[in-house]
């Protein structure tokens, strides 16, 4: 069986990237398709036999600033040809689910969450009234496309119950829940004694609400250990 993997962009390290590496272990010969690939920001991707990028790869600043090219993502993922594959697995929190497959080619979407800046976290990304007004036409177009794109996968898989509920709410689709693979490294923590709460998260996105967790634990006077960068 000939398999291909698809991901929104390959330029960082996080939970979704761990999923891709887990899929790579299952399908070691599968190439990876993506909008942009930054070798410096994503050295982990060197394990894939081949990485196919889109026309965005050659645009200035696109590799590190993909969010400025959101309106182009529909064309990016619809431009890929998967006619030679039996199975395509997309891992996505944005536009990779919008790939087009035909005939014998089956598409399984592993949905990390419906596109945050269009649905569940729209207020966070477009809180400024001027930005909301200026971006309104683009957001309307992307929402319409995003809904159509969510209809294309043969099977929709959610990473959690919350994501499954979002898929139902925003896309009107049912989904199978398969939690992501997880690995833990247990070490002795010399500076922390006794019981404490642990928060593991990437710290560069406001929607993670790590600052809110810190305020809450300070107010409650509970011990909190944070791991992330």
Q: What pLDDT is stored for residue 185 in this prediction?
A: 62
Q: Which helix (H) or strand (E) holds 32?
A: strand 32-34
Q: What is the pLDDT of residues 99-156, one digit of tens each?
A: 999 999 999 999 999 999 899 888 888 888 888 888 899 999 999 999 999 999 999 9
Q: What is the pTM of this model?
A: 0.84
What gap in Å lies between CA 25 and CA 5, rounded to an integer?
Answer: 12
Pairing of strands 197-200, 176-177: unpaired
What gap in Å lies between CA 116 and CA 2, rounded to an integer?
Answer: 31
Q: What pLDDT is stored for residue 31 in this prediction?
A: 98
Hey, what CATH topology would domain 3-177 get?
Rossmann fold (3.40.50)
Domain spans in the chain, listed from the N-terminal domain onward:
3-177, 197-227
- From the first residue on, what is the mean pLDDT of each consecutive set of 10 residues in the chain (229 residues)? 96 89 96 95 94 91 78 94 97 96 96 93 85 90 96 97 97 95 64 79 77 93 89
Q: What pLDDT is stored for residue 179 in this prediction?
A: 93
Structure tokens at 226: 């944070």
Kindly report the number of other CB atoms within 10 A of residue 72's CB atom: 17
Q: What pLDDT is stored for residue 188 in this prediction?
A: 62
């Amino acid at each position: 069986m000939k398999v291909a993997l698809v991901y929104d962009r390959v330029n960082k390290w996080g939970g979704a990237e761990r999923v891709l590496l887990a899929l790579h272990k299952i399908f070691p010969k599968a190439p990876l398709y993506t909008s942009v690939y930054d070798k410096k920001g994503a050295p982990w991707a060197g394990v894939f036999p081949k990485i196919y990028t889109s026309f965005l790869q050659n645009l200035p600043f696109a590799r590190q600033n993909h969010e400025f090219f959101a309106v182009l993502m529909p064309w990016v993922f619809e431009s890929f040809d998967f006619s030679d594959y039996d199975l395509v697995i997309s891992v996505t929190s944005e536009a990779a689910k919008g790939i087009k497959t035909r005939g014998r080619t089956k598409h399984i979407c592993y949905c990390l969450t419906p596109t945050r800046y269009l649905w569940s976290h729209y207020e966070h990304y477009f809180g400024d009234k001027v930005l909301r007004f200026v971006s309104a036409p683009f957001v309307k177009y992307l929402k319409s496309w995003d809904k159509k794109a969510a209809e294309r996968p043969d099977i929709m898989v959610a990473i959690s119950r919350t994501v499954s509920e979002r898929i139902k709410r925003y896309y009107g689709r049912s989904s199978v829940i398969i939690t992501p693979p997880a690995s833990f490294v247990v070490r002795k923590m010399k500076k922390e004694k006794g019981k404490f709460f642990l928060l593991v998260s990437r710290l560069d996105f406001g929607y993670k609400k790590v600052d809110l967790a810190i305020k809450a634990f300070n107010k409650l006077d509970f011990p909190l250990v944070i791991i992330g960068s």
